[in-house]
Structure 1
């Protein structure tokens, strides 16, 4: 089965099917520290560029956009790359998290705490562009559909509508070539599209891996031409997934690494994917998934791993009203 290395979004923008994830830190209990560690990006981003990555998935909340911008700026200055060679995604409107998670309150906010939601989005967008030292991003996503603790559904829906209208304006003036959402459920998407017949998102970025499947949202997105992008494709290194005997057997069968099997499964399922690693050989390995194909038996075996309740490493978007 031949898989293209790019995906064409509904508005004609071409997006690489594999992008390098730029969130560094720990959220799954593997260390005492919980939060972002952007300093790890200083080595990883140049290594990813050297490995061949040309798409980078970031967010205002991650604190790595200045590092991405500096790394790209060096390549632009030398003539090794041009802006047109690179696909940059950023995300805005990350809600506040629990106090033990170390995320800057300057980069996260709840809709009910902001006097002018649209202006806050515009201000954060300009901060992201300043950090990236770019005039535009290729893809702009709403990071989460709303505050984690909020139970006021009307407030959340109205805030999403305001944010999305602001995104549409940014797209119209070229600050974002494409726009979409992240962590949106089917209910969130339906409401967003129903409100004043707003533009349908072009991408929905969700947690997806062999242990975490949401077939309802995937079916809805396929029906409406929304590209699914899988973050945490390796379950953030948790849950013992990369040691799963089913995945290991398939990897041995094709003489590839387990991570390559997982990425190939995502691509053959029609999803874009965001692997992240700090090891150069893994970076190259994660891009080298176009020279083999999984057969129907392989695909069915991997699909079966996610037949139960989703096992998540991040917050459940179904809990966001």
Structure 2
């Protein structure tokens, strides 16, 4: 059994699957206004994922909505063909059931959908999974996540309980995919305590309890109550946007800078170390090789209690988010 201690480079999910604590995020584009809003730019994945593989990354976090799965699959296939990599060395995560994006955002309507606009929810999930595995060129993924608990707007169903029923239908489809071996583990993303409680009531079998809840989580965006709930349920919390996607000047925060200088590390390394010591896994993303190396070099130092508490305190008050607030999803 792999050690689940905060310093471990891997965690063991409640179904026994071993997952690295650091994975490379495969969503590319600008979401925080550094440039004019772009939506996803999958072309940036060619160089970035190649560099990540060169620099030792073996865990990759993607999604149907990102448009990068064919690129990731092609690059992995080249390494398989050369004998440099085997499938067993990799941990591949994908996400399905991303709700429809607003029309002004450049995300394909063929990769996103609202459950109330689909005739057969379970069949839509299965069809998307076929397309995802085809793009990846893989027979299975290591982790399959429900991307969001529901749509961003008002649903059109006359049934007020429709969002909850849709989540259960998607989850049952996920359970079927796991049973067939298409996914070694299944989990969720952007789920609140209420969403999780409902799902576990509607699909109560313990073997189908979510293994992971992937959330926007960084020093300026914390939810201790949700993390405590997940911990009590044996659900691993994974932090996406661990650096706030470069927003809010977070990596220039004087608290992080002071701690980094004390340890001879960068603020980014301090943030990732804080995530891991807090019991989370994290998904750093960068296009720079030097940052890729730094982001994996976080296991040779430890933050003391005062430092951990100082970083925790940065997230007191209103959470600063780069993505929609999941609590607004019905």
Q: Does 1:263 align with 2:272?
A: yes
Query: Which of the residues 287, 312, 315 maps onto 2:321?
Result: 312
C-alpha contact 1:150 1:320 (8 A) present in aligned 2: no
Distance across 2 between alignment mates of 1:265 and 1:254: 13
**d(CA) in 1 for partners of 2:108 and 2:328?**
23
Please report how far the alpha carbon of residue 30 of structure 1 lies from its aligned counterpart in structure 2 after TM superposition: 1.9
Q: Aligned to 1:69, which of 70, 73, 92?
A: 73
2:172 to 162, 165, 168: 165
In the other structure, the counterpart of 1:30 is: 34
Tell me, in whole angstroms, the C-alpha distance in 1 between the residues paired with 2:153 and 2:319: 21
Query: Is structure 2 residue 184 aligned with structure 1 residue 180?
Result: no
Provide the rounded CA distance (Å) in 2 between the counterparts of 1:207 and 1:186: 15
Q: Give runs of aligned pairs for residues 176-255 of structure 1, distance below 5 A.
A: 176-198=183-205, 199-255=208-264
Contact 1:34 1:100 in 2 (8 A): no
Residues paired across the two proteins, number:
321
- SS of the aligned residue for 1:12 comes to coil
8 A contact 1:90–1:140 mirrored in 2? yes
The DSSP-based 3-state class of the residue aligned with 1:251 is: helix
* Whole-angstrom CA distance in 2 between matches of 1:184 and 1:136: 24
Q: 2:162 aligns with which of 155, 158, 161?
A: 155
Q: Distance in 1 between matches of 2:309 and 2:31?
A: 30
Structure 1 unmatched runs, 5+: none
Contact 2:168 2:203 in 1 (8 A): no
Q: Which residue of 2 aligns with 1:16?
A: 20
Q: Tell me, in whole angstroms, the C-alpha distance in 1 between the residues paired with 2:260 and 2:181.
A: 43
Q: Could you tell me how far apart the structure 1 residues matched to 2:216 and 2:36 are?
A: 23
How far apart, in 1, do the equivalents of 2:298 and 2:48 lie? 20
Give CA-to-partner distance per residue, 1:96-151, whole Å, 9 cap, x none: 11222110000000011000000000000000000000000000000000001025
Q: Report the Cα offset of residue 34 of structure 1.
A: 2.8
CA distance in 2, matches of 1:200, 1:221: 11
Q: TM-score, normalised by structure 1?
A: 0.98
Taking structure 2 as the reference length, the TM-score comes to: 0.96
- Equivalent residue for 2:121? 117
Distance 1:129 1:301, change over 3 A: same
Q: Does 1:81 align with 2:90?
A: no
Would you say 1:44 and 2:48 are equivalent positions?
yes
- The 2-side partners of 1:311 and 1:253 are apart by 27
Question: What is the alpha-carbon distance in structure 1 between the residues aligned to residue 303 and residue 161 of structure 2?
Answer: 45
Offset at residue 153 of structure 1 (A): 4.6
CA deviations 1:252-277 (Å, max 9, x no partner) are: 00010000000000000000000000
CA distances 1:193-227 after superposition (whole Å, capped 9, x unpaired) = 00141421000000000000011110110000000
- Contact 2:98 2:111 survives alignment (8 Å): yes
Q: CA RMSD in A?
A: 1.0
Q: Deviations over 1:238-260 (max 9, x none)?
A: 01100000000000000100000
Consecutive unaligned residues in structure 2, runs of 5 or more: none
Does the residue aligned with 1:103 lie in a helix, a strand or coil? Answer: coil
Is contact 2:6–2:276 with CA below 8 Å preserved after alignment?
A: no
Separation of aligned partners in 1, 2:224 and 2:24: 25
